[in-house]
């Protein structure tokens, strides 16, 4: 697999979202479009008033991130041919889901090519003539990449729960697209009610399972046994039976073996910005990226954890699976 590098335009963000698109957005009353326009036009001196300063600094950081993402996408050929037409159309789309998915693909291109220094190819054949978002080479093997950008509107009041079901949906959708001939990685760029990096249990629940309180009741006497806590392997990567009781595969093995790993990437303002933004004296602002890697123990083509050395991983620790940074389950 050979990735062809292309010289990006001087203004990659302006080329990806041209002035004609922005003009059409300005004529709309949709708050989402005005937010995009605010980010795209973020420049100039920092206001003195605290709240306006914070918003200005955040807007600049987001714009710089978008510019970096699109720069990498241009360099790796994602804006070429029919692939590029589709990407441009979704970046220009008024629907938030289309815009988020397109920008998530650009962000993934930056992650692979910029942070991991990997070759990225815009052409990526999937299962049954389906096309993946991109492909690369990891751990010495070709890898198909599919990107998902689940979204859940932030709650306006206190709430309890998580969005594990959205992560499961991402895996279900990607698994149908992945080929069984190569390794595959699902990259999730979520915007959900609780950040996945802050509440990792929702990723564990979606992929592996969760702990349950169990006890037995004697139906004749009504006496109950002592409660015990047991891990229930009902996550997509471990479950061997469907809710109906039927086996996932005739062999009794788990499904989703085409998935080698799942990567979750989330933006967050830099800690320096969080500490100093209210003083309106901070000018060097950037967007930080938190990343989690979850390995599939039953992958047909596994990618070794050493490849992701230095990053937080859910992996085989020798005494079972867990987080390599010591985060408890």
Are 183 and 67 in a shared domain?
no
Cα gap 290→73, rounded to integer Å: 20
At 189-219, the pLDDT tens digits run 999 999 999 999 999 999 998 877 776 777 7
Are 59 and 154 in a shared domain?
no
Are 229 and 157 in a shared domain?
yes
Q: What is the dihedral of CA 311, 208, 132, 190, to 10 degrees?
A: -60
Give the domain-ending residue among 74, 91, 120.
Answer: 120
Q: How many of the other CB atoms lie within 10 Å of CB of 251? A: 8
Are 199 and 327 in a shared domain?
yes
Are 33 and 167 in a shared domain?
no
Are 113 and 153 in a shared domain?
no
Domain total in the chain: 2
pTM (two decimals): 0.90
Give per-residue burial for 264-295: e unless 16+ CB within 10 Å, then b: bbbeebbeebeebbeebebeebebebebbbbb
Cα gap 307→169, rounded to integer Å: 27
Are 129 and 18 in a shared domain?
no
Question: What are the phi and psi torsion angles at 198 (to 5°)?
Answer: -85, -30
Residue 289: closest CA among 190, 205, 201 = 190
Q: Is residue 215 part of a domain?
A: yes
Residue 321 belongs to domain spanning: 124-329
pLDDT at position 293 over 50: yes
Q: When comparing pLDDT for 156 and 136, which is higher? A: 136
Are 76 and 207 in a shared domain?
no
End-to-end CA distance of the chain: 39
Are 183 and 297 in a shared domain?
yes
At 219-278, the pLDDT tens digits run 777 677 777 777 777 899 999 888 888 888 888 889 999 999 999 999 987 644 445 544
Are 149 and 64 in a shared domain?
no
Q: Is residue 175 part of a domain?
A: yes
Q: Are 120 and 112 in contact (CB under 8 A)?
A: yes
């Amino acid at each position: 697999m050979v990735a062809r590098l292309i010289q990006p335009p001087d203004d990659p963000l302006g080329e990806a979202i041209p002035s004609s698109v922005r003009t059409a957005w300005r004529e709309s009353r949709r708050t989402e479009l005005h937010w995009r326009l605010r980010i795209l036009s973020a420049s100039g001196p920092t206001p003195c008033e605290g709240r306006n300063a914070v918003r200005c600094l955040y807007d600049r950081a987001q714009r710089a991130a978008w510019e970096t993402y699109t720069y990498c996408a241009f360099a790796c050929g994602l804006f070429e041919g029919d692939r590029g037409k589709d990407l441009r159309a979704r970046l220009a789309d008024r629907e938030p889901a289309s815009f988020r998915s397109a920008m998530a693909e650009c962000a993934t291109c930056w992650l692979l090519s910029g942070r991991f220094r990997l070759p990225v190819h815009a052409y990526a054949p999937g299962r049954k003539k389906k096309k993946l978002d991109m492909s690369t080479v990891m751990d010495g093997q070709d890898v198909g990449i599919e990107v998902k950008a689940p979204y859940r509107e932030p709650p306006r009041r206190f709430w309890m729960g998580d969005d594990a079901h959205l992560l499961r949906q991402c895996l279900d959708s990607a698994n149908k697209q992945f080929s069984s001939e190569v390794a595959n990685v699902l990259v999730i760029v979520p915007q959900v009610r609780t950040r996945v990096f802050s509440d990792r249990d929702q990723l564990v629940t979606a992929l592996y399972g969760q702990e349950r309180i169990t006890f037995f009741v004697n139906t004749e006497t009504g006496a109950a046994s002592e409660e015990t806590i047991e891990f229930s392997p009902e996550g997509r990567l471990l479950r061997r039976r469907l809710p109906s009781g039927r086996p996932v595969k005739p062999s009794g093995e788990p499904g989703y073996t085409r998935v080698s790993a799942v990567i979750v990437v989330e933006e967050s303002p830099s800690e320096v910005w969080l500490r100093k933004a209210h003083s309106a004296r901070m000018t060097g602002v950037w967007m930080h990226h938190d990343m989690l890697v979850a390995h599939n123990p039953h992958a047909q083509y596994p990618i070794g954890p050493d490849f992701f050395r230095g990053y937080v991983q859910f992996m085989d620790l020798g005494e079972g699976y867990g987080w390599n940074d010591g985060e408890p389950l």
